[in-house]
Structure 1
């Protein structure tokens, strides 16, 4: 998995929404979680979220991701190597936990549930968490319809297309998982002519080539439906709700899952 994230890091500047949170999504975290005076734990080192909170600890398993995309430690924030399922803060001492797409980085439902448990463990009694989702629709897109949509200019970014492809091919419940290399294989089958895709959409070839990072990756992602993720979270939190994160491409599948009141 570390090699996978190192490859992502090398192509970070070519990525964009919905994989990276646009300004309107970042504003949603701030508005819904009241972060200005909060001690925040960030899952991963998403640079767009590094400015949130009064203080922050960012936790990532990859030293290369920290070195490559974290905007730097300051007096009020720092990034550490660690495991999301074993967060460093204990004793219910954290005001807020935030993460961007982190549930999809976990390939199995058991891992998602373990993360919800870890978050509940570190939050204090009135703490809150916000996780932006990459959620598969209850009724999947047909691959041919998704292909036609992209070639007609109906998909906003290549990165939206990658997630749409993944969401047509996830496995069954409860995991809703897909090997990352399968996303690349499905792309190749649907869009064998990259020059045509570039000409039809205006997407630059280096951006389209970011799909090749997935080709030999051992990683497994998951794209569970929103209601599935709500159900998993409700085992650990009394108050679970969904908040829209904007109007960018695929935003309707990228809401903020807001969690409050961890169960005792």
Structure 2
């Protein structure tokens, strides 16, 4: 449902399981684009019928390795022989950041936005957990341990307190995120695609941990 992507392609079909998400942020159907409610693991398209498929962070919000493999299988089913998929990752570094280093970086002005800090904090919290999984409530708990004084964080970074407070949406959430390293995701994808790559997405804050996973040449399993 990412509004900035709605105009891509000659035609576009966006898929989300949440009717509220579609109603809330989709910019509206037109002759060339539409949004449908559907399951990413059972994409509502005939086999080998899609030219291009894109996703933004979707591999981090579906669960662990088994869920990622199921999504790769679903993508391979619907892509045609010449089709391509591109998915932006949120990937942990191979060596986990020390929370003290992330705190120091933020307080010294080395983090560009609060949202970048949130993902850095999340990746420190997921280190050591099976399959790099972290309940989002755990992200909030880690943030509160690292930054117990939000007034100090606001003063040192210039981020307004309401912006910092957006992390409180995680307080009662049942969601689970996963931040597997890019190399692990590539290895999983190679079981479903003959051509798997990693491409830089730019130089913005945290871009080095948000590369584009590219997928081509689906391996048919049916």
1:27-106 alignment runs, 5 A limit? 45-106=1-62
Q: How many residues align?
A: 220
Task: Provide the C-alpha distance between the structure 2 equivalents of 1:99 and 1:171, rounded to a whole number of angstroms.
Answer: 24
Task: Provide the C-alpha distance between the structure 2 equivalents of 1:144 and 1:123, rounded to a whole number of angstroms.
Answer: 44
- SS of alignment partner, residue 120 of structure 1: helix
Counterpart of 1:119?
A: 75
RMSD across aligned positions (CA): 1.0
- SS of alignment partner, residue 175 of structure 1: helix
- SS of alignment partner, residue 168 of structure 1: helix
CA contact (8 A) 1:157 1:249 kept: yes
Task: Provide the C-alpha distance between the structure 2 equivalents of 1:167 and 1:204, rounded to a whole number of angstroms.
Answer: 23
CA contact (8 A) 2:96 2:127 kept: no
Residue of 217, 235, 246 corresponding to 2:202: 246
CA contact (8 A) 2:92 2:123 kept: yes
| 1:128-184, Cα deviation, whole Å (9 max, x unpaired) | 000000000000110011101101100010000010011112154762110000000
1:82-231 alignment runs, 5 A limit? 82-170=38-126, 172=128, 175-231=131-187
CA contact (8 A) 1:230 1:240 kept: yes
Task: Provide the C-alpha distance between the structure 1 equivalents of 2:86 and 2:208, rounded to a whole number of angstroms.
Answer: 16
What's the TM-score once normalised by structure 1's chain length? 0.82
CA contact (8 A) 2:13 2:34 kept: yes
Task: Provide the C-alpha distance between the structure 1 equivalents of 2:81 and 2:193, rounded to a whole number of angstroms.
Answer: 11
The answer for unaligned runs of 5 or more in structure 2 is none
Deviation at 1:81, TM superposition (A): 0.8
Task: Provide the C-alpha distance between the structure 2 equivalents of 1:262 and 1:62, rounded to a whole number of angstroms.
Answer: 28
